[in-house]
Amino acid sequence: MPSEQADLIVVGASVGGLVAAVSAADRGCRAIVVERTKELGGGAAAESEVIAAAGSRFQAAAGIEDAPDRLAADVLAATRHHVDPALVAALAEQGGALVAWLADRCGVAVELVTAHLGPGHSAPRLHLPGERGGASLIADLGRAATRRSRVSLRTGTVADHLVRDEAGSVRGVQVRAERRGIAMDLLGDVLLACGGFVGDETRMAEHCPAVGRLPYRGTTAAAGDAIRLAADVGAQTAHLAACRVAPLLAMPGDLAITAPVVELGAILVNQTGRRFTDETAESLPLAQAILAQPGHVAYLLFDERIATAARAADPFFARVVLPRTGRRALTLKDLARQFELPLEALTLTLDTYNANVALGGDPFGRDTGGGEIGPPFHAIRVTSARWRTLGGLAVDTAARVLGADGQPIAGLYATGGAAVGLGGEGTEGGLPGLDALAALGLARLAALDVVARASARADDAG
């Protein structure tokens, strides 16, 4: 069988996979990235991809004191210690160097968000990777990868199974072109960066049954390829019941709304113009309530005061979500016309809500401290979906996949949805920016370990 040698074989051109490949290439290693689809970046384009990084130079420039151990403490508190403290500490330590490397070596326009801490964070530490969030990050990493002569990107290529030696170490991966391609072995250390299993109906029903009943609207298959590939070498999994739900997906485009619009006072109405739930409920019950409405959609209604504050708190919302999906109107009549909502019911809903704000109560039990909603108005059509899995392959602090005995499987690494994330049990307990930190941080740790292994082999050969 034909074969090709490299230092690192990356399965999946996610943002984590691209970070690992470019990081390894910057340190003199050759990397091959194989991707089943024709697109780079996985589903990152639909999100802000803010990175929680503590002790960064961007914080120092803004006069903000922070440190990795402070971030680690916030993570452990939010997840109620359902995560590995050593892994949390290792990833927290990577944050500052990671965002600096993205800016300096990949041309990412890193921006520290100072107007909003993000729930659960004790300091402003959310770093936005460019004006368009995840889309900017994908574009910058794609350019960085194509400009490195030591990185080879191969789209339309399927990973069939891992290649092992007699001792059980992973030596590479067998791949083929998606359409009638000849199989070949790509030999080298392997990083699985091919996503989680949120798109796999069978696994979701087994591990996250409540979330599995929600629709999946992602742009990638997320079919659990990493777990399938690693199962053949006896890999261990962890926290498979941990999932992320997106209760507010802006339409069209299914863009995740992460700005604190609801916290600032926005309300949800359905197609009949009526409120139907406590908008501040936890993510899963809120998603279930929205999907139970006519057409499985709702309308996020707010005013200019809320829009201004949300823009300041979340640049991705300001530059991408609101311009692409929001509607603005000077009167409620105009807004009702734009979304084909019944004006009489909508007017009654808003008048009732504002009256309850003045009285200090709410029939759905929410805190109405955000204030009354008045003209000019904004609204976004939203739906809900299951978003990502936070459980996956168990890894150590070098992103090495662990076997059933708890020891690292030589030559095998995982990141992103393929690896266990930094979330609590079930659907709650996460912090903004942790998903990106885990994906990019594990990728960087994997690349550093691969470089060290390659250097050791060179020394032995010399």
Given a cut of 80, is residue 147 above it in pLDDT? Answer: yes
Q: Cβ neighbours of residue 185 under 8 Å, at least 6 residues apart?
A: 1, 2, 3, 4, 163, 172, 173, 174, 175
Given a cut of 80, is residue 425 above it in pLDDT? Answer: no
**pLDDT at residue number 432:** 93
Q: Cβ neighbours of residue 73 under 8 Å, at least 6 residues apart?
A: 122
Rg over CA atoms, the chain:
23
Given a cut of 80, is residue 459 above it in pLDDT? Answer: no
**pLDDT at residue number 324:** 97
**pLDDT at residue number 351:** 97
- The residue written with tokens 């032995």 in the block is 460
**pLDDT at residue number 116:** 86
Task: For 69-106, write each residue's pLDDT tens digit.
Answer: 999 999 999 988 789 999 999 999 999 999 999 999 99
pTM of the model: 0.95
Looking at domain 3-242+390-461, does it have CATH number 3.40.50.300? no
- The CATH class given to the 244-385 domain equals alpha beta
**pLDDT at residue number 386:** 96
Nearest Cα to 170, choosing from 226, 230, 238? 230
CA gap 173, 267 in Å, rounded: 50
Given a cut of 90, is residue 429 above it in pLDDT? Answer: no
Q: What is the mean pLDDT of residues 7-26?
A: 98
**pLDDT at residue number 360:** 85
Pairing outcome for strands 377-389 and 400-402:
unpaired
Given a cut of 70, is residue 462 above it in pLDDT? Answer: no
**pLDDT at residue number 285:** 96
Across the chain, mean pLDDT equals: 95
Given a cut of 90, is residue 191 above it in pLDDT? Answer: yes
Lookup: tokens for 65: 């004191």
Given a cut of 90, is residue 219 above it in pLDDT? Answer: no
Task: For 225-245, write each residue's pLDDT tens digit.
Answer: 999 999 999 999 999 999 999
**pLDDT at residue number 181:** 73
CATH 3.50.50.60: which residues of the chain? Answer: 3-242+390-461
- Going by pLDDT thresholds of 50, 70 and 90, the confidence category of residue 163 is very high
